[in-house]
Amino acid sequence: MVYLLDVNALVAFGFAPHQFHHRVASWFSSGEVSLATCAITELGFVRVLAQAPAYGLTVAEARGLLRSLKRSRNFRFTFIADDQDVSHLPDWVKVARQLTDGHLASLAEAHGAALATLDEKIPRSYLIPK
């Protein structure tokens, strides 16, 4: 199964000091899982790590970390090209804070993947186990 990691799951997986790193890494190492990213999740990864003072990374460092993660021989990443416009938003998207989640869930589904997340409130997504 291919799983499109949402931004939080990608940050947790790729940044070892993250509070949920062990949770995501344990899930990944538990079986045959193929991971995917897309433009939104990759940009979000860099933004979060470069913007949060607690993480202390520059944009260049965050980009380098993501590139290293994607090149690792321990993981298999695919890139999902974003071909979904606003007409593909799921009906459950009702408020602004659901837009990105809805878009990512729709994008994953359109490409035969599942959106993997740490967020229990995203319909039609795969909740990474605790």
> Shortest CA distance to 50 belongs to which of 65, 35, 36?
65
> Shortest CA distance to 11 belongs to which of 129, 106, 116, 123?
116
99 forms beta bridges with none
The answer to whether 7 and 40 have CB atoms below 8 angstroms apart is: yes
**CB-facing half-sphere around the CA of 75: CA atoms within 13 A:** 23
pTM of the model: 0.93
pLDDT digits (tens, 9 = 90+) for 29-41: 877 789 999 999 9
**How high is the pLDDT of residue 76?**
81
- Count of domains forming the chain: 1
The answer to whether 33 and 1 have CB atoms below 8 angstroms apart is: yes
**How high is the pLDDT of residue 75?**
79
The domain in which residue 91 lies consists of: 2-127
**How high is the pLDDT of residue 118?**
97
Q: Is 15 exposed, middle or buried (0-12, 13-18, 19+ CB in 10 A)?
A: buried
**How high is the pLDDT of residue 92?**
96
For residue 67, give both structure tokens: 């590139």
Q: What is the rounded CA–CA span in Å between residue 116 and residue 36? A: 10
78 forms beta bridges with 36
**How high is the pLDDT of residue 28?**
87
pLDDT band at 119 (very low <50, low <70, confident <90, very high): very high
Mean per-residue pLDDT for 67-87? 91
